Amino acid sequence: MRKPKKERQQLLVETITDNPFVTDEQLAKQFQVSVQTIRLDRMELAIPELRERIKDVASKSYENEVKALPLDEVIGEIIDIELDKRALSIFDVKEEHVFQRNGIARGHHLFAQANSLAVAVIDDELALTVKSTIVFTKPVKSGDRVITKAIVTGQDSAKNRTYVTVSSTVENKEVFHGTFEMYRTRGESK
């Protein structure tokens, strides 16, 4: 059911804030309006087009923020991070990431993105995965853009543990989720 303009625009802002990499086509489908209507809404709300939003996010460097591993060892590209709170990364699935016979992404790439983001979000020089529980909920194919969010859900200072929940989506549909128990050298965050 189509929503009134004001309500649609409010939801549009929330959707783009939550996922800055959503395309106009995806938004048009979600809100059951034309792509042109979405573009007009974005212009009216001063929301830049996808290319500009990606460029803006990519221009931020997180090299000095990530401590637990070198930035080039993170699978995917970190686009937002607040240590010991949350992190966001994108991973573009290419031909080399999928099985040749069916075009479906190999699971270890999705796990590696999630696991490396769970490590990166830890505000410590050393963070190691103690245990993870993961679920693949939908196949990912070549050409898909996987957006992964990691959220720190708790800490146990006595055991030097941090707990991280990770969720990966493609076009706003969950494809993977997991919980990670992380060891860190310090019991408490700064």
pLDDT in tens, 133-179: 999 999 999 999 999 999 999 999 899 999 999 999 998 899 999 99
Quote the pTM value. Answer: 0.69
SS3 state at 87: strand
User: Contact, 177 vs 151, CB < 8 A?
Assistant: no
The Cα–Cα gap between 13 and 95 comes to: 33
Query: CA 134, 70, 174 angle in degrees (round to 5)?
Result: 25
Q: What is the pLDDT of residues 24-60, one digit of tens each?
A: 888 999 999 999 999 999 999 999 887 777 666 655 5
What confidence category does residue 189 fall into, taking pLDDT thresholds of 50, 70 and 90?
very low
Spatial CA neighbour of 150 closest among 27, 72, 94, 68: 68
Topology at the third CATH level for domain 5-58: Arc Repressor Mutant, subunit A (1.10.10)
Q: Which residues are CB-neighbours of 172 under 8 A, at least 6 positions away?
A: 15, 19, 22, 26, 30
Max distance between CA atoms of the chain, in angstroms, equals 55
Return the H-helix or E-strand segment holding 30.
helix 24-31
Say what the pLDDT of residue 70 is.
66
The Cα–Cα gap between 73 and 37 comes to: 41
CA atoms within 13 A on the CB side of 105: 25
The CATH code for residues 71-184 is: 3.10.129.10
Answer with the residue of higher pLDDT: 26 or 132. Answer: 132
User: How many whole angstroms from its chain centre is CA 73?
Assistant: 16
Weakest-pLDDT range from 12-26, 59-73, 93-107, 155-169: 59-73
Spatial CA neighbour of 146 closest among 100, 81, 92, 75: 92
Weakest-pLDDT range from 70-74, 86-90, 153-157: 70-74
Q: In the chain, where are the structural domains located?
A: 5-58, 71-184
Distances (CA, A) of 87 to 4, 54, 126: 33, 16, 17
Weakest-pLDDT range from 2-16, 127-141, 175-189: 175-189
Say what the pLDDT of residue 81 is.
86
